[in-house]
Amino acid sequence: MKQDILFISDLHLALEKTQITRRFLNFLQQRAPLAKALYILGDLFDTWIGDDDNTSPNRTIKTALKQLAESGTEIFLLQGNRDFLLGADFCRETGIQMLDDYAVIELNGQRVLLTHGDLLCSDDLTYQAFRIKSHSTEWQRNVLSKPLWLRLVAARWYRLRSYFHKRGKTLNIMDVNQDTVIATLRLYQCQVLIHGHTHRPNRHEFTVDGRPATRFVLADWKADRAELLCWKNSGFVTETI
């Protein structure tokens, strides 16, 4: 019987990242089918410009995700800051279930809060302002109305601009704000938080209102290494893929 629950994030799949794509496809065919559920907590793709984009490697990935869903493993997805245009057509094609920006699940009676992590980086005011704009219906409708070729060009420009913008920011600004973390856990009445986004994999122990709390930061996938967080036997363990 399938029991493991798997959590991954920040694969940033793209045409030029062939090694990561191969590792992910292998993961979908070998490790993931043994799990009861797979949670992808954002930035599965480096840039997503619309569900009509079937350029390589998108079609292959869609097919592999669909096969995993049909094998009996439930797949859940949170949008990240790079793939927030993932929509209903992608979910229909892959069998994935889309989650809200914050989602609460129960593991052995324990409430666990899931999110991508960008909303927790509340000190990055420039990004938070862009996030509000880019998640508006009007902004997204305008982007998706453009021809696919133009969106492909714009996506490359956006990735280049994002790279240079990050170089001008301090690491602290791009990390989560602990006060925001605590306030969010209070709001959702959880003591465990799992997220990605920051590319700083770790396990943080702290207290919220005198009670122990844990924040798991998922690892971003690299060409030579990838990790997942697994819930098994009533506990969390990290696995190297």
For residue range 48-63, what is the model confidence (pLDDT) as tens digits? 999 999 999 999 999 9
Asked if residue 170 has pLDDT above 60, the reply is no
- Into how many domains does the chain fold? 1
Ramachandran assignment for 172, one of left (phi > 0), alpha (psi -120 to 50 degrees), beta (any other)? alpha
Domain range for residue 13?
Answer: 5-240
Q: Could you write out the three-class secondary structure of 89-128?
A: HHHHHHCCEECCCEEEEEECCEEEEEECCHHHCCCCHHHH
**9-59 pLDDT, tens per residue?**
999 999 999 999 999 999 999 999 999 999 999 999 999 999 999 999 999
- Report pTM: 0.94
CATH number, residue 101: 3.60.21.10
The 10 Å Cβ neighbour count of residue 153 is 13
Residue 213: its H or E element: strand 211-217
Quick check: helix, strand or coil at residue 69? helix
